[in-house]
A and B are shown apart, each in its own frame.
Chain A
């Protein structure tokens, strides 16, 4: 028992430190949004969220909690499966202590959710107690969900169901959540030291595979952002009577902006997460080949977003598709200029590709002009690939990880 307590104390300290670090950005973002959107927006949105009950209430809360523990995972879980493992403690104790640590790291967001729930419940006379009771257990289950346990494929469905039960605002389901949580936790097994590689992928697309592996599940984040713009478009069109021309403009603008946002976030993450791999540059292949391969990879990722505009108005898709190669090549060029610009790759892509996207929203005839610029953008991307500063990657990576302390002044 004393060993479990010792582990809990240790991990609670580490989690607390992450929570302290996250507190200010979370609070600052919330206050900013609160000031911009107003208290009524938050009350109505939270009331709509709580008022639905069951799955409709559970899914948004689960999304927020999962995103939070996922963000904290690297800061907390690093080192759990290495040297720490030789210390005399049981595997279950290690897993539970790590889950507690992640839950503590997520506390600023949990407190914020509690605050929103309470204000909405107070103003709209809604029952908030079941949701509040489920928040911390849901965070614990979500923490085990994201931990590198050895039997993750069989434990994760159970833990996901547990989270949904905890957050569904029903006392009976809360009990069921406990049962699923216990089962999922038992099933999870020890923290796994090695991620076994069952498939060995080789070939000419290796650098693209590395790009994909470097992003992993984070790749969902740019999709989430871009699809949220489509959600805004849906609400905009559903609640306003527009002439077809104006609706076309709105769809074109939204589609173009969603592509720009996707490319900006994707390239920013790629620049900071994927090692430059200097040795790879010494192999017999041209900068054009390297850029082309990555452009194909990015095109494959971004095309579904462009095609999604078909759902709204089919005739708006062609100008957006025409501009896509140019946007992709510009993003690749920006990705290779890690050090330039105050706001990094994200700022460069958004700042430079945003205005053309606005223009495309106003008139579809901007598309051929952008198409004409594509060869020039390709040449620029190739030049950026040739003159890539390979030594800048480590500092970009550390900054992206939020580790500004070690690399301040680089």
Chain B
């Protein structure tokens, strides 16, 4: 459901972060592993359509992310590590926008806010809420609709226990429903019980692991 064909990307004149990367991820949970700076977040941003690859193509559910951009993104839910949101929009407006763009009723946004415990903050602007609350709002945005492709970057970072449980149960639910989940992070132990495969990034290329890491190897860098 997420397919990368010959994807290369660099941030400048230096060596590329990703170099002619080919990857095919079907339904189920795929863990993206690798040491710091290997390009996990870059690949996540490319797969979410935030960055455009220098070379190569990315397909979401068979649709080219940069040619059929609306159709491809309609199936996508993205949860970034850093909640980069428009500072002067309210939380309610953001959720409302997501509902409209994904053609879901506005009540879906209200429900998502209630589920994430943000109902009382819906009229606050982004700059008036904490970083954790911004991330909750982005998780609430993921709950809207039934995304077929879910892309999460360090989802448990900085979240409280209740929210961690909620994120884990939702991801498990999406996986059981047949969604493709791409998840990057160093804290992988909570995801191991329901992970289907792991991909290790090394020197700009991806390598699929035949066996998932053992629980004691969950520091991400060992692959």
Contact = CB atoms under 8 A, between A and B. Distances in A.
A119 interface: no
B15 interface: no
B223 to A, nearest CB: 27
Contacts of A80: 86
Interface string A176-203: 0000000000000010011011111000
Interface in B35-77: 45, 48-52, 69-74, 76
A194 B11 contact: yes
Contacts of A88: 69-74, 76, 101-102
A200 B103 CA distance: 44
A403 B127 contact: yes
Nearest to A105: B88
A78 B87 contact: yes
A199 B14 CA distance: 9
A405 B127 contact: yes
A3 interface: yes
Contacts of B125: 17
A190 B100 CA distance: 21
B88 A75 contact: yes
Interface in B60-119: 69-74, 76, 78, 80, 82-90, 93-94, 96-98, 100-103
A86 B69 contact: no
A61 interface: no
Nearest to B80: A83
A151 interface: no
Nearest to A189: B52
Contact of A6 (B69, B73, B101): B101
A368 interface: no
Given A10-B93, A75-B87, A88-B70, A193 B51 contact: yes
Interface string A1-34: 0110011011101110110000000000000000
Contacts of A198: 12-13
A383 to B, nearest CB: 36
B70 A89 contact: yes
A80 B87 CA distance: 10
Contact of A10 (B50, B69, B80, B96): B96
B191 to A, nearest CB: 21
B76 A86 contact: yes
A2, A78, A88 interface centre (most CB from chain B within 10 Å): A88
B203 interface: no
A85 interface: yes
B24 interface: no
B88 A14 contact: yes
A196 B50 contact: no
B25 to A, nearest CB: 16
Contacts of B138: 83
A200 B11 CA distance: 11
Given A10-B93, A196-B12, A200-B13, A3 B127 contact: no
A81 interface: yes
Nearest to B9: A194
Nearest to A403: B127
Most chain B CB inside 10 Å of its own CB: which residue of A13, A76, A197: A13
B52 to A, nearest CB: 7
A82 B50 contact: yes
A13 B11 contact: no
Nearest to A199: B13
A6 B97 contact: yes
B128 interface: yes
Contacts of B96: 10
A275 interface: no
Contacts of A82: 50, 80, 82, 84-85
Nearest to B128: A405
A17 B125 CA distance: 10
Contacts of A76: 86, 88
Given A86-B49, A87-B97, A79 B87 contact: yes
Q: Which of A17, A75, A85 has the most CB of B within 10 A?
A: A85
A363 B52 CA distance: 62
Given A89-B101, A197-B12, A79 B84 contact: yes
The 6 tightest CB contacts between A and B, nearest first, are A82-B84, A6-B100, A197-B12, A88-B73, A86-B78, A79-B86
Interface of B: 11-14, 45, 48-52, 69-74, 76, 78, 80, 82-90, 93-94, 96-98, 100-103, 125-128, 138, 151
Given A7-B101, A88-B69, A198-B12, 20 more contacts: A6-B100, A9-B97, A13-B89, A14-B86, A14-B88, A17-B89, A82-B84, A83-B138, A85-B48, A86-B50, A87-B97, A87-B98, A88-B70, A88-B71, A88-B101, A88-B102, A89-B70, A89-B101, A198-B13, A199-B13
7 contacts: A80-B86, A81-B84, A82-B84, A83-B85, A88-B72, A193-B51, A197-B12
